[in-house]
Every structure is written in structure tokens, then in C-alpha cells.
Chain A
């Protein structure tokens, strides 16, 4: 148990080591002008793959060898039809004291849970500014370890896949998408090693976010993930589309991070710490973290603003307004942090960068879309969950709801195979945010993990297709299942998983289980709040319908029917095993990662499942109905109570019904072609145009933000910079030139030149005078010497006589 942080640190730092080795071994020599041979570049990929695979092995050992034997799932209380009150009475290693004490207290209406078991600590203090302490620390709970296993496993698969996918970069490349000014295509050296270098750094950054023990460190790795995505999206940097997409991803994320910094400042200035958990200090006391400050044990672990927040709020209160007791501050902090997550996880106002990020190579898309970048946003919401007030959670839910709907509609009409998947990612992230916002902490993160597996599978499959037909356009595909059966059927598994197909209440693909709990939570929210809150049920169901529709549209257009482009069809081939192997492995996980093993299994396998695992990491104060303060009618429902039959049965049936309906719709339109897609397009002309143009978000942002920004910058460039500042500088220059002219004439020419000239003239005259002495007559010189010697003798004698002796 004690070596857990060290082991995870090794797993975390291995990709960094790989990055450093590749950087020093390959990239630095290349910068110095050496040409690294392609055969040696291949080794770089082995280093990167080795690092991440070893990282996975360590993570898996941490989970199965250390964590689970210490805290067996079999003993943990959960789940299903139990009522929260019964649950609260059970003593379990995961809620050791909190429940028992608090339940016995009278007058507590909403029993909630204490903190999960965690280990927190600091490895290294970076800096200390007054009371601000920046440290590299760790906060390890079940969520951290689960994320480590998930990220390293998926990253391993993608790394191995990329060894095959990127082999084009192992020789000189002619980029047909870049035309130089002389009309030729760009010809460049392959960049195999650079790809793996960034991949390693990317994995390292993501693992850093997972293990991070405080918000400041999270922010550092947050930005590292951002810059890595920038490098990788812009991997084909010579392509205009790739470089602008990289810029877009980076800049859009800056917008979100601005909000995140506001959240960080609000939290730090009122809590005085960045760390999540309580950290043991050297003198045996505990340094309190954010979570325990906001969820005091004496308060029954309910979320309550600290005294400093209340004081701060009161000091800013205007006359006559209702006191909010720090609730607004906490709300702002929560929404601020969520802004950052909004950028990273591509939520509604900031979702536009993610589809453009498809410009990177496909393994990058897979990594960005499943395990790393977009997962970071959802993970952070899950991590800092205890600071979110019910109102902030409502904001998260609304944003997630809008996102999942918008993205799903756009995905229906997209024809680029990767863009369909990109929008489906945005939509699924919306599902996760919705679940988190509605109080379904386990539901949201469960979906994050299952989604990571099937989405990476789908992306790698699409990469395999693109690799085979050299096109992204689904209208040029069709019938490919005959040519590439492994890709086709693994992708079918991925589609079934994302659609959420399964036998209700029994077993299904991984997406079935996770989507089910989201719908349960949504229905429970609707039942609790009533009225408009049923929108949170209707919209996700519509989204789920569209999800299964567009995923099967994609599969039919790509793999079923007759080939549309015979040239490409004949060219197509199944990918090599280095690519197909990861597909099969991921397909296995896409089927089974949502399952929960029965109680009767031996040892750590008993009750093993992602959902039970996450349940043991449930953050402090998450259970129980939570009532809004600013919005008194708002109730965030208890997640455990969402599993009762009254919720579970309608949720299960509706989820499976919409999934099947979507698949049926896609089959009717795209496989049997009973209704032709073209006639539907004509029929729904306006809607089609709206989704085809992505609801004009890019145009809107272009019009509202980009153009005004450019106009303002142009104005500043011409009017302010060139007109005002330059003219001021120019006038200064003129003044200085005038001054310089005066100084040149008076000081330099008259004063200095004259004095120097005078010295020179006098020296010259002296020389002329002395010249006559230099006769060249040897004997005369001897005479001089003799006379001078005598003169010296006389002087010395006289001097002796009168000055010294006298």
C-alpha cells in the first residue's frame, strides 16, 4: 500500500522518459542537421510502445495486486435496489465512520457520504509565494487507478496500432495535399520518430492530470495536454487545414482556460490551498485540502461555503440585496472550473475545435477522443465534484444536454467518416456531462471509461479503412466488409457498443450498461423536479436515437451495400496484424468492459466491474438529495436511489427502444434503401442544410469573434500602431537626429577634433625641432653621452652634497 504512489509515479514518468530519450536521441541530432536513418527511427516507436505498455502493466498491478486485495469490492456496499438509508447504515471499509456517526445524529434530513479512501501527499514543492504553495503531489483513489489502467491500456493499443499506421513516415513523403508555389507537391523527410515523441509526451501529460494532487498541478498538465494536442493535430504542419485546425484547438481551449483560471483564483483566494485531499505533514498534523474544507465532518459532509467565503461575499455585498453566504462565490468557482472542462471536452459553446482536430493522423484522433484530451475535461469535473453547488451542476447538465443534441444532429449528415466519429464523441461527452450534472457521478465516469474503449476502437477502425482506401469520404466507400472483414466486424462491435445494444436488465455491450445508468439518473431527476426537467430525459433519448442511427449509417455506407468507387474498392486490403491486433483487443473490451462479475467469483474478481469500482471512489458529499440554495426548487437527486425499480424499468426499456429504433431507421434508409436518403434530404431541406453546415457555428464565430477581432487588430495595426505609435516614435527620431547634428558640430567637430588636432600639431612641431639633433654622426652621439654622463655625475654629486648629506 505504501509503495502505491511510487509505482504509479513510475507508470506516469515512463512515457516522459521515452519522450526524453527520443528527443535527445533523434530530434536533437536532427535539429543539429544530422540525418537520422529511417531504420533507426523505427527504434523510437519501440521505445514509446515499451514505455506505455510497461506503464499499463504497473497500473494493472496497482489495481489488481495492491488496491483491490486491500479494499475488496465484495465487501463494499452497493448496489441496485437498496435504499440510501439502508445503505447508510452499513459499515464498510469505504465509508468507515461517516455514515455510522451521522446516521445516529438526529435532525439530519439528507444523509450523505464521507470521503472515499484515498492517499494524498506531495512529492516535491516547486515554489512557495507567501501562503501560495505549488507542489507536485498525488491524490490516489480508485478513480485515479481506474483512469491509469484505462489510459495506459488504450494508449498502448493506439501506440501499437500507430507503428503500423504511420509506416508511411518511414521514408520520404510526397504530400499530395500541399501544392507549393511552383506547382509541385511538397516533398519532405518522414517524421516517424517525432510522432512517437509527442505521443509519449501526450500520455505523460494525461497521466499527470489523473494522478495530480492539486489544482495547480492539474492546470500545468492541463496545458501540457493542450500543447501536445496542438503538436499532434498539426502533425502535417505544411497543410493549411492542419495548421489552422491546430491553432483553433489551442485558441478555443485558451478561452475555456481563462474561465478555469478565474475558478482557480476564486478557490485559492478563499480556501488558501490547491490540494484536493488532506496531506500528512511532517509533524503529524494534517494539511487540510479543498474537499474537507468545503465538506466539514461536523456539518455531516454537506457542501457548505467556508467562513472566509461568507466573509468575502459579505464584504462585496451591495446595500439592500439578499445575502448569499458565499454561495455565489462557490457557484462562480464551480462554473469557472467547468469552463476549462468545456474547452477540453468540447462542450457546446466551445465544441467547434474538435471536428477540425480530425486533421491529425487517425491514431491521434483516437488518442485525443478516447483516453486523453477530451477525457481530461470529464475527469476533472469528476475529480473536483465536491466543489460544485447544485446550481453549478445544473449549468453542467444544461451544457451537456445542448451539446449532445447539437452534435448528434450534425453527425447525421456528415459524410467524412472521421467527422461522424468526431461529432459522436462530442455528443457522447455531452452525455457524460449531463450525467455528472444531474448527480450521476458514477454514471458519467462509467460512460467515460466505456466510451474510451469503444470510441478508440471506432477511430482505429476508421483509420484502418482510411489506410486501405486513401479517402475519408464515405460516399466513395461501400461493400468494404468483403475486403477487410476484421475491421468491418470489430467496427460493428464498436457501433453496437456506442448504440447501447443489450438485453434489458441482463447483459449487453459496454455502452448499454453505461448509457442505461445515465438514462436512469435523468429519469430520476425528472421525477424529482418535474416540469421542464423532463427535457433532460427527452433530449438524451433523442440523442441516443440519433447516435444509433448515425453509427449504423456510417457502418452501412462504409462496409455494406455495393462499392461506390470501384477503383478504391479494388485497391482496398485488410490492414496488417500490427493494426488489426489492437482492434480485436479493443473490441473485446468494448463488449465486456461494462460487465460486473457476480459475487461468487473468487478473490479480487468478486463483484469486479467498472461501475462497482467507481462506486468506491464516490467523492465526499455526493450521495443524498441535494437542494439548491440560490434556486430553492432545484433538487439534485441521490444516485443510489436511481436504481430502484420505478426508475430502472422505464429507463431500461426506453434506452433499448430508442437504440433499436435508430438502428432500424438506418437499416431502412441506408441498407434496404426503402426510403432514399436523397428524397429525405429534399423533404427536410432546411434541417438538412442546418446540420450540413453544422448549425453555422463556425460561420457565427467567424462573424461574431474572428472577424471583429481581425478588424480590431487591423484597426490597431494601422491606426494605433502605424498611425499613432509609429508617428510618436518617428518624431522622437527626428528630435534625436537634430540633437545629434548639433552635438556632432559643436561637441565632436569643434571641441574634440580641435583639441586632438592641436596635440597632433604640437607633437609634429616638436618632432621637427628634435630632428636636427639626430645628425647620424656617431661621434657626436658619443659626445652627447659623455657630456650627459658628466652632467648627471655633477647633478648627483651636488644633490648628495646639499640635499642628502648636507
Chain B
């Protein structure tokens, strides 16, 4: 396990570096989602998580980073474009939900939104 982390600073930039950044972004996003009570904050967390994932796609799909012959290096980018479009749509819906929630409760505290509890 050790060699993976040991020479990450000495190696030239490769997939692993991107993955580290993506993991950091993912963890930040997840923490943001878990800790923020503000709905907007939660949305921001989601964006971070998605972007962390996008970064992984890009890294794995790039032909500059990986020595792969059978690809033109666009499949990862296509995936992330998909995710970005979906994220935009999701953000629009989520903001609409947040607005409506605010109209009902005069607050956007997600802890108050527990009507769906079992």
C-alpha cells in the first residue's frame, strides 16, 4: 500500500494526482452535505461531489494521462459533460424546491424538512 502514496510527490503528474484532487473534492462535498443545515450549502456540497466525480472521469478518459491506444480520449469528457448538464438541471429543480420550502416555512433549514420521515 505504501508505494502508492510514497512517490506521489516525486512522480510526474499522472492519473493518481488527479484522483487525489478528485477525492479531496469529493470528501469536501460530502462533508459539506453532511454538516450544512442551509439548503443552499447542501446544494453546493452536491456540486462539489459531482465535480470530484467529473475529475475522475476526465482523468481516466484522457489519453495524455493514460497510455491507451483504443481511445481518442473523449469518452471521459463526454461523460463529464453529461454530468454537468444533469447537475445544472438538478440545481434548477433543487433551487425551485428550496424556494417553495422557504415560502412554506420561512426558512431553508434542511433539518426542518422531515415530513418524509417514516
Contact = CB atoms under 8 A, between A and B. Distances in A.
B116 to A, nearest CB: 5
Interface string A773-806: 1111111001101100100000000000000000
Most buried by B among A770, A779, A783: A779
Interface string A750-786: 0000000000000000000011111111110011011
Contacts of B111: 777-779
A777 B42 CA distance: 12
B70 interface: no
Most buried by B among A774, A778, A786: A778
Contact of A776 (B35, B36, B37, B113): B113
Nearest to A771: B118
B118 A779 contact: no
A738 to B, nearest CB: 49
B30 interface: yes
Q: For the side of the interface on A, what is the size category?
A: 10 to 19
B10 interface: no
B8 to A, nearest CB: 17
Contacts of B67: none
A644 B9 CA distance: 145
B115 interface: yes
A776 B114 contact: yes
Contacts of A789: 30
A782 B117 contact: no
A774 B30 CA distance: 20
A775 B34 contact: no
Contacts of B35: 779
B47 to A, nearest CB: 14
Contacts of A775: 114, 117-118
Nearest to B115: A776
B30 A773 contact: no
Interface residues of B, number: 16
A778 B40 CA distance: 13
B118 A778 contact: no
B37 A772 contact: no
A63 B12 CA distance: 116
B110 interface: yes
A774 B118 CA distance: 5
Interface in B70-118: 110-111, 113-118
B117 A783 contact: no
Nearest to B113: A778
A434 B110 CA distance: 117
B31 to A, nearest CB: 8
Most buried by B among A772, A774, A779, A782: A782
Nearest to B33: A782
Contact of B118 (A772, A782, A786): A772
Interface of A: 770-779, 782-783, 785-786, 789
Closest 5 CB pairs of A and B: A776-B114, A776-B117, A774-B118, A771-B118, A782-B33
Given A776-B116, A778-B110, 17 more contacts: A770-B118, A774-B117, A775-B117, A775-B118, A776-B114, A776-B117, A777-B114, A777-B117, A778-B113, A779-B33, A779-B37, A779-B42, A779-B111, A782-B30, A782-B42, A786-B30, A786-B34
26 contacts: A771-B118, A772-B118, A773-B118, A774-B117, A775-B117, A776-B114, A776-B115, A776-B116, A776-B118, A777-B111, A777-B114, A777-B117, A778-B42, A778-B111, A778-B113, A779-B33, A779-B34, A779-B35, A779-B37, A779-B111, A782-B33, A782-B45, A783-B34, A786-B30, A786-B34, A789-B30
